[in-house]
Structure 1
Amino acid sequence: MTFGEKLQLLRKRQGLSQEKLAEQLDVSRQAISKWELGESLPDTENVVQLGKLFDVSIDYLLKDEFLREDGIPAAQNNTAGSQRKFRSNIQLVIGIICTAIGCIGNIALMVLSTMIEVHVTKTRILPDGSVQSYGGGDVLGYDFGTFISEYRLQALLVIFLLLVIGGIAAIWISRMNSDRQPH
């Protein structure tokens, strides 16, 4: 496959007209036409720009040995696709770490609430069917809500919950972005 055939294939795959491609490269439409017809070749700067624009290596553009569209090698250095994938992977790792920290923190609070006694209010049903509350200051027991409020851990609980929610959101967004990227 010649340079011109590859250029035409890549341009059409991106949905670009010769005019639009010419605008992006700051050349004339006639120059694009000549390149595609094999009447001339672009200069080095334009070949590099084409590689970046179409996310292919310069080798693919210039060497005729790459014959099929499915044999197109990705550009090796700093391509937009690899940068998006890198950011998506970083976002996934951050999401996993935030979710893990939030879950571990919430589990630690729950475990501590079963190990540390707090002043609880208990209720009992009297023989006549009425309910009586007792305790408060003198009855010790285990209660998650009371543990959180007695030791003033509301802010810590909220932080852990936000870490879980934010982490799950980051993982979900990362997966959505990776599903939209071409493989």
Structure 2
Amino acid sequence: MTKLDLSEKIVKLRKNNGLTQEQLSEQLNVSRQSVSKWESGQAAPDIDKIVALGEIFHVSTDYLLKPSELDELAMKAEMLEKRQQEIMENENKRKERQYCICVCTGIYLIAFAVFMLIKQVSWINDTLWNLFPGITLPVIILLAATAAAIFVCVKRKQRDGRQE
């Protein structure tokens, strides 16, 4: 395992935290060129900027200034944990979408079946079609199915939000 110097650590930490040189420079109140010089090894940040870098990246100044394989391993472990958490969140979102799609499909199939049943049963058909002429009845059934689908998906999302 190689030991990183300060410039390499700044680049790695900035990228791992999803920051551009411009964003980091704004947080440190320095120019983007200063950050670029630090990262290329052409210049080193002042001690107050090193302290600020530690705070921004949640690392010690020792980590920034001293080459340590242990700190490198800790940073990699943290990166892996972050990535694992992102993967879990994405998987939960995928499952949530899949659940809502299945529920909505089921609700719309039931609504279609109800509509077909109403259309086939003549005594209900005459009464309902006289009561709701034209396409009013299919629209009402479609709106009720949509409301039910939205309700179920929102309730699921609220329930999942409370569990987290």
**Normalization by structure 2: what TM-score?**
0.49
Structure with greater helix percent: 2
Structure with greater strand percent: 1
